[in-house]
Chains A and B, each alone.
Chain A
Amino acid sequence: MLSGFLAVLSGLIGIVILFTFWRRKYPVHGTAVFLGWIPLAGSLLFWVASAGIEFGIVFSLMMPSLYAWVVILVKSEHKPIAHTRPKRYQFQRVSYTKILRNGGVFFLVIVFLAMSSTFITLVFTYSLPIKEVNRMAVGALLMPVVWGAAVVWALIDGRRIRPILINGISGLFSAIYLFLWSH
C-alpha cells in the first residue's frame, strides 16, 4: 500500500518537475529536466515493490500518461472560440487513377511487405543461438515491428522503388535460405 502510494507520488513529482522546466529558459533547465526524470524512473522501483516485477513494469510504463494528462489539462491555455467560414459542399468525383495508385500502395503495405518481413524476421530469429520456443517469442515480438517499420519506410521514402527493392530482395533471399538451405 505504502509502496503504491510512493510510486504514484514519485511519478507525479517527476511529471510536475518536467512540466515546470520543460520549455523554460532557466539556466538550470537541462539539470532540472534531468532531475524530473529521476523520480519518474524511480517510481518503477516503488511499483515493483508494491505489485511485483511484472505488474510493476507495466504500471510504471502506463501511469505517467495519466499524471501528464492531468497536468496538461489543468495548465491548458484557454482561448476564445474562433469562428471559421463554413466550407462549401462538393460532390466527390471518383478518380480511377487515385484508386489504382492507392490500391497498389495497399498491396505493397499489406501483402508484399508482410511476406518479406515474415521471412526476414524468421531468418534472423532462427539464426539466434536460443531454443526454438524462445525464437518464436522473439519472432512474434519482432515481426510486427519489422513489418511496421518497413511500411513507414515505404510510405515516406522519396524514391519508393528503394524500399521495394531492398525489402523484396532481402525477403526473397530469406525465403530461399529458409526453404532450400535450412533443410
Chain B
Amino acid sequence: MSAKSFVKRSVAGHSWLGLLTGAFMYLICMSGTLAVFHQEFERWEQPNVEEYRDYDVQLLESAYLDFIDSHPEETGHLHLVFPKSGIPRVVVENDHVARFVNQDGTLGEFENLAWTKMLVKLHAYLSLPNTLGLIVVSIFGVLLLSLILSGFLAHPRVLKDAFRFRRGGSKQLERVDIHNRLSVWGAPFHIMIALTGAYFGLASVVVIVIASVFHGGDQDIVVGKVFGQEPELSQDLRPANIIGAMENFSLIAPKASPLFLTIHEPDTSGQFIEIYAQHPGRLIYSENYRFDIQGNYLGKAGFSDGEFGRQFLYSTYRLHFGEFGGFSVKILYFVLGLSLTIISVTGINLWLEKRRHRDLINDVWLGFVWASPAALCLAAIAQIIFGLSATVTFWVTYSLFCCYSGWRREESESRRNFQFLSAASLLALVLLYSANFYEHALTQAALGVNSALIVAALVFLLLGRKSATLHIEGISTKEQWV
C-alpha cells in the first residue's frame, strides 16, 4: 500500500469511527466536562444545608444512632460521610435514603441531588441502565483510543503543523486547524481519559472472563484479589462503635483524612466498619481501614502500599475525574475536557463540510450541539424549582430542540436561536434559583456556581450576537449567489 493510499484509508477509517461515535462522544465529553464540578453542583443544588469542616465524633455517632432508629429498613450498607475539601457537609445514609447531619448532631434535610446525579449518569451511563450504560460508555473509551491512533495516522502533517492556526478565511481550514491543534497537544490527556474511562465498564466484563477461566466462575475471588477479601466475623448484634473505630483510626493513620465510614452488612453477625481515608499526594481513591463492630482494628486493604496493580487500579477514579490537587486541577480538567468536546464537534462538522449537499443530518446535528446547554438548564429549573424529573425534562426538551432544528432547516438561524435560548435559560435559572432559595443563594456554595452560570450566559449572548451578524451576512450572500 502506497503512502498516499495509506493516508486515504486512515482518513476513511478515522471518519467512520468519528461518525459512529460523534454524537455520543459529544454527550459524554460535554457532560464529563461539567461533571468535573459535581461536588460544587451538589452543594449548589441544596444550598440551605449546614456546612462545617470540624466535627465532634460523639455527635456523629449520635446522628448515626438517630438515623438507624428513624430508618430501620433493611440495608446492605450504612455510610457516614465526613466533611472534606470538596463538600464540607456530613451525610448519614443507607442504601435507600441519605440525610445531612447538622453541626449539633441532629438529623437535617434529606439529600436530593437529582440534577447533579442526572448529569453524572449522562456522562457515566449515557442515561442507560447502570451496567449496560457503563459498558457502552467504556466502549466509547476504546473507540476514543482508536480515534486518537487513526487521527495521527490520517494526518501526516499533524506534527509539522503543530503550531499553525489559520483563523477566518475558509471555515473548513479553520475547523481543521482547531480540530488538529486541540487533538495533538491534548493527546496525553485524551489518552489518559480514554484508558481510565474504558477501564470502568470493561473491568466488569474482564472480571467475568477471568473468573470463568481461572476461578471456576467465582467473581468474588477475582474482585477480592484487587479490592481485598472482606473479613469473616461472627459477633454479637449491636450498633457500631464509631467513636472507638475513629480513635483507633487516628492512631493508625494520623496523616490520612477520612472520607467516609461504611458499616457493611449492618445488623448481621458479620458486620464490620471500614474507614475510607485519603492519603495526601496520592492518586489512589483511598486506603481502607477495617474494624470490627466494637472498633477494634482488623487491618487495611493495601491500596496505599500493596501490589502495584492494586494501587494502579485504585487510582483510575481520581485520574479520570480530576479529583486530586484541589480546585485548580478541576479547572485544568474542565479546559482539557472542553477541548475534547470541541474536537468531537469539529470532527463531525468537517465531515459535514466536505459533503457537496446538506440534509437533515446538518440541521439535527446543529440542534444536538447547541441545544444541549439549554436542555441542561431547563432540566435544572424543572428539578430544582418545580420538583419535576431532570432526566425526563432533559431528554424531552433536547429531542424537541433537535426536531425544531431539523424542521427549521436554517443552520445559522437555529444556531443563533439556541445560543440566545441558552443565555436566557441560564439567566432564568439563576433568577428562579435566587427567588427559590432567597438568602441561601448568597452562600459560598451557591454564589460560585451562580456566578459561573451568569458568565456562561454572557458567553452565549456574545456567541448569539456573533451568529446573528453572520446570519444577516449569510442572507445577503445567499441572495448574491441566487
A residues engaging B (CB < 8 A)?
18-19, 22-23, 51-52, 54-55, 58-59, 61-66, 68-69, 71-73, 75-92, 102, 105-106, 109-110, 114, 118-119, 122, 126, 130-141, 143-145, 147-149, 151-152, 155-158, 178-179, 182
Contact = CB atoms under 8 A, between A and B. Distances in A.
B145 A156 contact: no
Dominant SS at the B interface?
helix
Listed residue (A23, A73, A75, A143) with the most chain B CB atoms within 10 angstroms of its CB: A143
B169 A82 contact: yes
B169 A80 contact: yes
A156 B10 contact: yes
From B225, B309, B339, name the one whose CB has the most chain A CB atoms within 10 angstroms: B309
Given A77-B166, A118-B206, A133-B307, A54 B282 contact: yes
A51 B206 contact: no
Nearest to A149: B149
A182 B213 contact: yes
B185 A68 contact: yes
Given A54-B282, A144-B145, A62 B195 contact: no
B205 A64 contact: no
B213 A144 contact: no
B358 A144 contact: no
B103 to A, nearest CB: 32
Interface in B314-361: 315, 319, 324-325, 332, 335-336, 339, 355-361
A136 B309 contact: yes
Interface string B1-32: 10001100110110011001000000000000
Given A62-B189, A65-B185, A91-B359, A132 B162 contact: no
B458 interface: no
Contacts, number: 213
B129 interface: no
Given A69-B185, A118-B206, A179-B213, A81 B168 contact: yes
Nearest to B136: A110
A116 to B, nearest CB: 12
B12 A155 contact: yes
A137 B213 CA distance: 17
Interface stretch (B196-204, B261-269, B365-373): B196-204
Given A55-B324, A65-B186, A144-B195, A86 B481 contact: yes
Given A148-B143, A149-B149, A136 B225 contact: yes
B166 A144 contact: no
A3 to B, nearest CB: 14
Given A135-B309, A148-B143, A156-B13, 10 more contacts: A22-B163, A66-B332, A82-B171, A83-B480, A86-B477, A87-B358, A134-B309, A148-B146, A152-B13, A152-B149
